[in-house]
């Protein structure tokens, strides 16, 4: 198996000096994630200095390190470790001869990235690289690039942002052949002021398109014109996706499928495809259409993509479903604890309303980075809650105060200050036949509630 990087290659890419010859099979900047054969990148951050953890990294099996100060172990010495990681990522992208896809959006980017990975990996097993977790920022993107094997047939990279200009910098590192925008929602609106500004910032992804590249954009978005205008400046081809009959890749018919998924008949340029989306919810159908548009743009196997979408597993924090044993039967747990904004809240609550359950429970944490519209947007969740036929709600965090006030007399609910209190409530409250949705911004910590319920299951 070819080494991911040799010390000579690392030094050449970063302009650094190698202390001794070594080779690595992986890259990490968090010492807790280092495994045998990894390159540890010791970076200085606002809170801590990675050089403090060099010994720990080598104790866990690191084969070498990028450092900005001399250490006893094998290393490449550079002036700035963060800049060196970015340079390593750029070099990795330059040496890879396959096709690259960039994914962004206010919602759905991680799920779409994972679904696309499975669709491509089904045809080229072991030859598809993608971002892990949600490594999608100014550090995560170069890390994901630097981890890409040189012989990869495809690379799929998630890119995020919360300020204008950030995505432009990331997309020029990724240099995608296909760039996807999944959807636009008021996520990070605190930093932008309007959804239109968010759409403009997301459209920066098209600036990095390779010559002859394709832009994939959501036709159903109210900001489709903004996205399209930007794409026209940089893309040789534009493919739209959605439910509207005018979309290039559109859902002609959708029917509920066994197990909570959706049977979809999709029309693409020159072909029709009938397939199943295994993950429940209309938002997952939209993600699937974006995947098909991308496979079409890459000249890939659409039938194989359809099979992969049927088998797509639920992602922790993004729709993973667990069956919990409770007295007298079972309860369904739907884990959407990783992130939340008004659009994703509405979509998942809509799907909760379709679940066959004796009682529907929604555990909702606050939505972060909504700025001056926070009170309005939290109070606005009343309609999605009632449309989702929620019988009982647990509201978590002070951001939920406006919703608690708006819900008075509408439905049964409790408002608690933190996830720990929510754990106690749900443990005492849940019973056989319940469907329990857990959703909130990651900082609220509702993943702890999910972990506590799943731990009790085991």
pLDDT digits (tens, 9 = 90+) for 85-116: 999 999 999 999 999 999 999 888 999 999 99
Closest CA to 320 of 450, 227, 224: 450
Asked: is 96-311 a CATH 3.40.50.300 domain? The reply is no
The CATH architecture annotation of domain 5-80 reads: 3-Layer(aba) Sandwich (3.40)
- List 262's β-bridge partners, or say none: 256, 277
What is the pLDDT at residue 189?
65
What is the pLDDT at residue 457?
59
Return all residues near 111 (Cβ < 8 A) that are at least 6 apart: 279, 284, 287, 315, 318, 319
The three-state DSSP-derived secondary structure of 338-353 is CCCCHHHHHHHHHHHC
CATH classification for the domain delimited by 320-457, as one of 3.40.50.2300, 3.20.20.30, 3.90.190.20, 3.90.1150.10: 3.90.190.20
| Sign of CA pseudo-dihedral 392, 282, 111, 276 | positive
What is the pLDDT at residue 188?
62
Q: In angstroms, what is the C-alpha Rg of the chain?
A: 23
Residue extents of the structural domains in the chain: 5-80, 96-311, 320-457
Residue 101 backbone dihedrals phi, psi, to 5 degrees: -120, 135
- 185-211 pLDDT, tens digit per residue, is 876 666 767 889 999 999 999 999 999
What is the pLDDT at residue 312?
82
**Cα–Cα distance measured from residue 37 to residue 43, given in angstroms and rounded to the nearest whole number:** 19
Residue 252 backbone dihedrals phi, psi, to 5 degrees: -75, -35
Query: pLDDT below 70 — which residues of the chain?
Result: 1, 187-190, 192, 456-458
Sheet containing 392-396: give its strands across: 320-326, 329-336, 434-439, 359-365, 392-396, 412-416
What is the pLDDT at residue 240?
98
């Amino acid at each position: 198996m070819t080494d991911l990087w040799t010390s000579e290659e690392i030094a050449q890419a970063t302009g650094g000096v190698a202390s001794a010859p070594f080779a690595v099979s992986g890259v990490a900047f968090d010492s807790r994630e280092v495994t045998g054969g990894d390159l540890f990148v010791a970076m200085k951050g606002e809170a801590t200095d990675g050089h403090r953890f060099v010994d720990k990294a080598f104790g866990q099996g690191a084969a070498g390190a990028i450092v900005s100060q001399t250490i006893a172990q094998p290393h490449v010495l550079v002036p700035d470790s963060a800049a060196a990681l970015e340079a390593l990522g750029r070099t990795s992208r330059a040496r890879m001869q396959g096709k690259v896809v960039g994914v962004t959006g206010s919602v759905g980017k991680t799920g779409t990235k994972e679904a696309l990975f499975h669709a491509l990996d089904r045809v080229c097993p072991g030859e598809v690289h993608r971002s892990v977790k949600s490594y999608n920022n100014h550090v995560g993107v170069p890390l994901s690039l630097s981890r890409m094997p040189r012989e990869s047939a495809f690379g799929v990279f998630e890119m995020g942002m919360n300020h204008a200009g950030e995505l432009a910098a990331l997309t020029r590192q990724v240099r995608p052949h296909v760039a996807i925008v999944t959807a636009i929602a008021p996520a990070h609106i605190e930093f932008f002021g309007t959804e239109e500004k968010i759409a403009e910032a997301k459209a920066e992804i098209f600036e990095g398109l390779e010559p002859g590249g394709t832009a994939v954009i959501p036709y159903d978005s109210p900001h489709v014109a903004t996205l399209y205008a930007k794409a026209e400046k940089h893309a040789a081809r534009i493919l739209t996706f959605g439910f509207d009959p005018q979309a290039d890749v559109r859902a002609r018919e959708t029917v509920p499928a066994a197990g909570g998924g959706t049977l979809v008949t999709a029309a693409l340029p020159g072909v029709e495809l009938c397939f199943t989306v295994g993950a429940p919810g209309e938002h997952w159908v939209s993600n699937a259409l974006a995947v098909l548009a991308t496979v079409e743009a890459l000249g890939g196997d659409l039938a194989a993509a359809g099979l992969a979408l049927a088998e797509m597993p639920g992602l922790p924090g993004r729709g993973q479903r667990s069956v919990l044993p409770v007295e007298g039967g079972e309860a369904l747990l739907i884990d959407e604890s990783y992130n939340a904004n008004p659009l994703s809240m509405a979509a998942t609550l809509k799907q909760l309303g379709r679940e066959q359950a004796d009682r529907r429970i929604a555990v909702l944490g606050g939505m972060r980075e909504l700025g001056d519209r926070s009170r309005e947007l939290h109070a606005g969740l009343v309609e999605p809650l009632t449309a989702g036929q929620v019988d009982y709600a647990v509201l978590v965090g002070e951001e939920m105060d406006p919703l608690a006030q708006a819900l008075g007399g509408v439905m049964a609910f409790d408002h608690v200050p933190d996830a720990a209190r929510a754990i106690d409530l749900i443990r005492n409250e849940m019973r056989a036949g319940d469907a329990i949705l857990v959703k909130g911004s990651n900082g609220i910590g509702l993943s702890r509630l999910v972990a506590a319920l799943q731990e009790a299951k085991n």
